[in-house]
């Protein structure tokens, strides 16, 4: 058993998990609930072991490093973080319908990592710029934040769906979604959590850049886009805290914010050039 097999199984398990949660939502198949949670927990465990084994394998190859150094590895970690975040959410809110709007992100991330021909999956040695302990701190903080933002955007979609028919009569599809007030609360809390981690991610990146290049900020496209994302969420939180925005507007902002995250994470690597080109390979 090697790490790529385990991560392959993880992809399938996340697919199954996403399908189960969507089935719970669409067919109101509540009986599947426990099964869905178990599958997700197992998938998460396999994902964890897969990352750990890849780490171990890199040491066996004599080039040991934390598997967080390129697009493939970051997507795998992204899926891991989304799933962890979702499981905590499910535990806290005791509502499995949330999974239908969260787990597809984890699956898409793993699937893109596994099936995209664009980037290599093999364990490659680290170039000198990446040989730093800040790699671990920077990638983990960023992706925990990104995972929260992914889930927040899923909740935003859920809010907008539910809000189309506010008076969803009992027994209809949308009635099984949590109340608007509750979704709004989840979105808000998730955004706040993500914002703290995004800030930490930008800061760890700046400290690392200063240790490697002597400049903590150089307006590199990646840095700039992370700041743009930070501005978007900062504006969102201010609109909420001081202008009392909520509901549809915050739901939309959660979606727009995540588009900015995706561009920071993915778009910059492939569409713009800059210092931070490690992620593209």
Interface residues with other proteins (CB under 8 A) are 63, 124-125, 127-129, 131-132, 134, 185, 192-193, 195-196, 199-200, 203, 206-207, 210-217, 219, 221, 224-225, 227-228, 231-232, 234-235, 238-239, 241-243, 268, 272-273
- Residue among 41 and 259 whose Cβ is closer to other proteins: 259
- Residue among 161 and 272 whose Cβ is closer to other proteins: 272
The secondary structure of 133-148 as a DSSP string is THHHHHHHHHHHHHHH
- Least Cβ distance, residue 278 to other proteins (angstroms): 13
- Residue among 15 and 206 whose Cβ is closer to other proteins: 206
Collapsing DSSP to helix, strand or coil, 27 comes out as: coil
- Residue among 88 and 235 whose Cβ is closer to other proteins: 235
Number of Cβ within a 10 Å radius of residue 27: 10
- Least Cβ distance, residue 124 to other proteins (angstroms): 7
- Least Cβ distance, residue 71 to other proteins (angstroms): 17
Helix axes 134-164, 103-115, angle to 10 degrees: 130
- Least Cβ distance, residue 182 to other proteins (angstroms): 10
Give the long-range contacts of residues 68-71, CB within 8 A, separation 24 or more: 68/135, 68/136, 68/139, 68/140, 69/124, 69/126, 69/130, 69/135, 69/139, 69/278, 70/119, 70/120, 70/124, 70/278, 70/279, 70/281, 71/113, 71/118, 71/119, 71/269, 71/279, 71/280, 71/281
- Residue among 20 and 191 whose Cβ is closer to other proteins: 191
- Least Cβ distance, residue 75 to other proteins (angstroms): 22
Whether residue 25 contacts residue 97, with contact meaning beta carbons closer than 8 Å, is answered with: yes
- Least Cβ distance, residue 123 to other proteins (angstroms): 12
- Residue among 6 and 135 whose Cβ is closer to other proteins: 135
**For the chain, how far is it from start to end, CA to CA, in angstroms?**
25
């Amino acid at each position: 058993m090697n790490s790529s097999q385990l991560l392959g199984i993880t992809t399938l398990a996340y697919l199954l998990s996403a399908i189960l949660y969507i089935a719970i939502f669409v067919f109101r198949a509540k009986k599947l609930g426990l099964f869905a949670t178990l599958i997700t927990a197992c998938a998460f465990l396999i994902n964890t072991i897969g990352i750990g084994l890849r780490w171990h394998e890199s040491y066996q190859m004599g080039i040991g490093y934390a598997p967080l150094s390129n697009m493939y590895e970051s997507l795998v970690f992204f899926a891991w973080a989304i799933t962890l975040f979702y499981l905590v959410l499910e535990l806290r809110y005791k509502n499995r319908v949330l999974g239908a709007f969260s787990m597809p992100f984890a699956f898409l991330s793993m699937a893109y990592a596994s099936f995209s021909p664009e980037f290599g999956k093999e364990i490659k040695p680290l170039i000198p710029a990446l040989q730093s302990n800040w790699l671990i701190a920077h990638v983990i903080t960023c992706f925990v934040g990104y995972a929260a933002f992914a889930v927040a955007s899923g909740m935003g979609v859920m809010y907008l769906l539910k809000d189309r028919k506010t008076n969803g009569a009992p027994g209809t599809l949308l009635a099984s979604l949590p109340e608007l007030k509750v979704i709004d609360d989840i979105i808000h809390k998730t955004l706040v959590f993500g914002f703290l981690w995004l800030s930490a991610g930008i800061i760890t990146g700046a400290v690392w850049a200063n240790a490697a290049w002597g400049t903590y900020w150089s307006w590199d496209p990646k840095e700039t886009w992370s700041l743009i994302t930070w501005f978007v969420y900062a504006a969102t939180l201010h609109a909420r805290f001081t202008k009392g925005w909520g509901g549809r507007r915050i739901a939309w902002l959660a979606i727009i914010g995540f588009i900015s995250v995706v561009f920071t994470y993915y778009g910059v690597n492939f569409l713009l050039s800059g210092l931070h080109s490690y992620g593209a390979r």
